[in-house]
Amino acid sequence: MEDTIVLYPSPAVGHLISMVELGKLILTDHPFFSIKILITAPPYNAGSTAPYINSVSTTTPITFHHLPSVSLPLHSSSPHQEALAFEFLRLNNPNVHQALLSISQNSNIHAFIMDFFCTPALTVAADFKIPAYFFMTSGAGCLSSMLYFPTIHRTTTKSLKDLDTYIENPGIPPMMVADMPKTVHDRTDKAYECLLNISIQLPKSAGIIVNTFEALEARTIKAISDGLCVPDEPTPPVYCIGPLIAANDQTGGGECLTWLDSQPSQSVVFLCFGSLGLFSSEQLMEIAVGLERSGQRFLWVVRSPATEDKSRRFLAPPEPDLDALLPDGFLERTKDRGLVVKSWAPQVAVLNHDSVGGFVTHCGWNSVLEAVCAGVPMVAWPLYAEQRLNRVLLVEEMKLALPMKESEDGFVKAGEVEKRVKELMDSEEGNSVRKRTLSMKDAANAAMSCKSGSTRIALAKLVESWTLQGIGHLVSMVE
């Protein structure tokens, strides 16, 4: 019988990568375990993750267990995609049950680690009496707000959007309701109910693993560990095991990297907005005008604007038509100092290139950690999910980013793009976030360093909690 850890990521590629990295780190320090990862079927996991999963399968001992497909309702009463994602994962519960049953034929499963989106599977792990852990793909700041959410819910009968006050979550700066994820603004929304349920379930796990490191979020981690976020019941152990980021894979990004080779050291600002970040055509025009006026060198990943066609919402957008989307003559006029790439760039390799000196990011947590590890300062331009909360943390708490300021409807004018890009690349404020980011890069390396780093110590404690239950302990089977 193998001694196995089962990981259950949610389908988004950003969530999958950090969980795979967790699996790799467990194998590095504790190679007697085998790692099995449950993969949900399309529509969420359509084509885009397949090449990545293939490459992990061929280059590491990690194995993937593909779940059969489930049919997803086409409509949800909630305007938020998250509500459909929760429903999709809830419908996968019987598949998870079957998978654990099948894996346990040849393995002793010591722990089941699930993405916080996969909360419905908590009951499946309980059926098998396997200790269940949550994995936070975002940071401790987001975890603080989630753990504290049931308390906020209980202390008011109003929706957050109707409260005229700052939200005070333990261990992070007070923030406006608009900076909290949209899914928690309206208590009549289905997505609100799902989020509240996840938040209530989090403390019922055997532990919470967070993709962060002590030095990055020390005050927040202390507030959580001191029990301030869950006043009415014990807070489970919190393991800060990060930064878990994708390896620096240089394949497939030839054009960007070759172009960067020809640019001066730390001169280029990189603009990239995650795996899902899409702008309207008007906003793309405005960014182009701002970049041109800034006079700075840039590498910009442009994707096609969002489609109104709901049946295509899970498909990757088509290749953008740059001539139609960008101002007349823009590419020609900026060709000596700018490169626009279509749809995708090898972000980790780009951020680690010596020519890159700044990053305009949508504040997805992987992107934040990748920038920190590369020592690249940021301009924070959040778009969806918990990214506005991350901007508050990056700007006010960590001081690793300058804020991009949008109007109330979310639109950012060319003048703001110009101002922030210049500020980041050439001002005292820009220099100050650059210095702090470089020292945080050192702290990230120290956290990951073999044996003595805070991350490796946290991982050792987590593994100890499994082995205390005894290697070879038998999983009790459920029909």
Cα Rg for the chain, rounded, in angstroms? 22
In the complex, the smallest distance separating the C-beta of residue 365 from ligand UDP, rounded to whole angstroms, is: 5
Residue 320's nearest CA partner among 353, 350, 293, 287 is: 287
Contact with ligand UDP (CB under 6 A) among 4, 8, 10, 14: 14
Cα 84–88–92 angle (5° rounding)?
165
Torsion angle, alpha carbons of 340, 137, 446, 355, to 10: 0
Contact at 8 Å (CB) between 23 and 57? no
Kindly tell me which of 246 and 339 has the beta carbon lying closer to ligand UDP.
Answer: 246
Q: How many CB atoms lie within 10 A of CB 42?
A: 13
In the complex, the smallest distance separating the C-beta of residue 50 from ligand UDP, rounded to whole angstroms, is: 15
Could you give the string, one character per residue 245-264, with x where binding to ligand UDP holds by CB under 6 A and - elsewhere?
-x------------------
Contact with ligand UDP (CB under 6 A) among 276, 326, 402, 404: 276
Kindly tell me which of 341 and 475 has the beta carbon lying closer to ligand UDP.
Answer: 341
Kindly tell me which of 330 and 365 has the beta carbon lying closer to ligand UDP.
Answer: 365
Q: Say whether residue 20 binds ligand UDP (CB under 6 A).
A: no
Kindly tell me which of 313 and 461 has the beta carbon lying closer to ligand UDP.
Answer: 313
In the complex, the smallest distance separating the C-beta of residue 345 from ligand UDP, rounded to whole angstroms, is: 5
Q: Say whether residue 367 binds ligand UDP (CB under 6 A).
A: yes
Q: Say whether residue 400 binds ligand UDP (CB under 6 A).
A: no
Kindly tell me which of 272 and 462 has the beta carbon lying closer to ligand UDP.
Answer: 272
3-class DSSP state for residue 39?
A: strand
In the complex, the smallest distance separating the C-beta of residue 80 from ligand UDP, rounded to whole angstroms, is: 14
Contact at 8 Å (CB) between 38 and 100? no
Count of H-run helices and E-run strands, the chain: 18, 13
* Concatenated DSSP letters of 376-388: --EEE---STTHH
DSSP 273: -
Q: Say whether residue 275 binds ligand UDP (CB under 6 A).
A: yes
Sign of the alpha-carbon torsion through 13, 19, 22, 27: negative
Contact with ligand UDP (CB under 6 A) among 11, 171, 364, 375: 364
Q: Which of residues 315-344 bind ligand UDP (CB under 6 A)?
A: 344
Listing from the earlier edge strand, what are the strands of the sheet with 378-380? 338-342, 297-302, 268-272, 356-361, 378-380, 401-403
Contact with ligand UDP (CB under 6 A) among 5, 17, 132, 289: 17
Q: Where are the beta strands (DSSP E) in 234-345?
A: 238-240, 268-272, 297-302, 338-342
In the complex, the smallest distance separating the C-beta of residue 247 from ligand UDP, rounded to whole angstroms, is: 11
Q: Say whether residue 142 binds ligand UDP (CB under 6 A).
A: no
Kindly tell me which of 132 and 246 has the beta carbon lying closer to ligand UDP.
Answer: 246
- DSSP β-ladder status, 297-302 and 338-342: parallel
In the complex, the smallest distance separating the C-beta of residue 141 from ligand UDP, rounded to whole angstroms, is: 14
Residues near ligand UDP, by CB under 6 A: 12, 14, 17, 246, 272, 274-276, 301, 344-348, 364-367, 370
